[in-house]
Structure 1
């Protein structure tokens, strides 16, 4: 029972991490130091998508699920179990990845523009 609850807690944490990936750059507009964590998160996301790297949160959730007597996540892991085919059609995954990437890049451009704006106003 405890391990199953911990597995579900890891799942919630995983959703929070993905939410931070999408909106963290915009959060950095108000809290500039957040950008460092967001850049690290985005780099990790690119690594996960580009290479067959195992996500530690997925591994932890699987370990806890198996320990509780449940089945591990589907072969594709967290994204394939909870996101692809659930929040959007599986065929839209490449488009969603591009849109998330554009959202991240837009947030970074906005962050740099906001940081440069006071310098221009004083100059």
Structure 2
């Protein structure tokens, strides 16, 4: 498989993981076992943000981009793909903490919603 396609698939995987980590608790409405996968994903995303770590998928993506003759990029996935859409300035450690808090608050809200829905059912 072409290195560029693999890099693009890693970007898609990265994005889907972030969406799952933020909103995956909603799947609990359909599958009761979802928190077994979702809560570790939330913890991983929070650890990355609170510690300023870069997800291992980012260097892997950059490796495949370079193998395809493209330039890699510095920083992380969020900083390269998402932050420019939301915050034109660079990602600072303070913003990373806020993003981690936001991820936790979103998930707290999702699980509160799920608990209320399950309670009514």
Q: Shorter-chain TM-score category?
A: 0.7 to 0.9
Q: CA RMSD in A?
A: 2.5
Partner of 2:102 in structure 1? 99
Query: What displacement does 1:66 show?
Result: 1.4
Partner of 1:72 in structure 2? 72
Normalization by structure 2: what TM-score? 0.79
Partner of 2:5 in structure 1? 5
Asked if 2 retains the 8 angstrom alpha-carbon contact of 1:29 and 1:110, the reply is: no
Query: What displacement does 1:54 show?
Result: 3.4
- How far apart, CA to CA, are the structure 1 residues paired with 2:26 and 2:111? 8
Matched pairs, number: 116
Query: What displacement does 1:60 show?
Result: 1.4
* Alignment gaps of 5+ in structure 2: none
Helix, strand or coil at the partner of 2:49: helix
- How far apart, CA to CA, are the structure 2 residues paired with 1:102 and 1:33? 21
- How far apart, CA to CA, are the structure 2 residues paired with 1:77 and 1:53? 8
Q: Whose Rg is larger?
A: 1
Query: What displacement does 1:110 show?
Result: 3.3
